[in-house]
Amino acid sequence: MIAQTPEPTYYAVIFTSVRTEGDNGYAAASERMVELAKQQDGFLGVESAREELGIKVSYWRDLDSIKRWKKNAEHAAVREKGRSEWYKAFKTRIAKVERDYGFEK
């Protein structure tokens, strides 16, 4: 659930979105994208939650692995459907994780 990321530094892609009404193939495509992301070189993990707002944070080794994932053809096609069908609005932020700490009971 909480991604098991390595020691910093590494990168986070914070994707925040508001969905349109209805599923319209979103759930299946979203699941497929996570499966596909897991196969990419440099992928470190993903965390997501949705209420009114959806937040998905994927973690990557470096900017190059993020760029390659963005260019993946299947991923690019699905992103187009995101703009045309699934999202009212979204914001993507690319951030370098400089420090982290955690807690577990």
Contact set with a second copy (CB under 8 A): 1-3, 5, 8, 12, 14, 16-18, 47-55, 57, 83, 87-105
Instruction: In angstroms, give the least distance from the CB of 14 to a second copy.
Output: 6
> How far is Cα 57 from Cα 71, in angstroms, rounded to an integer?
18
Nearer to a second copy by Cβ, of 18 and 76: the residue is 18
Instruction: In angstroms, give the least distance from the CB of 36 to a second copy.
Output: 21
25: left (phi over 0), alpha (psi -120 to 50) or beta: left
**Cβ pair 78, 29 in contact under 8 A:** yes
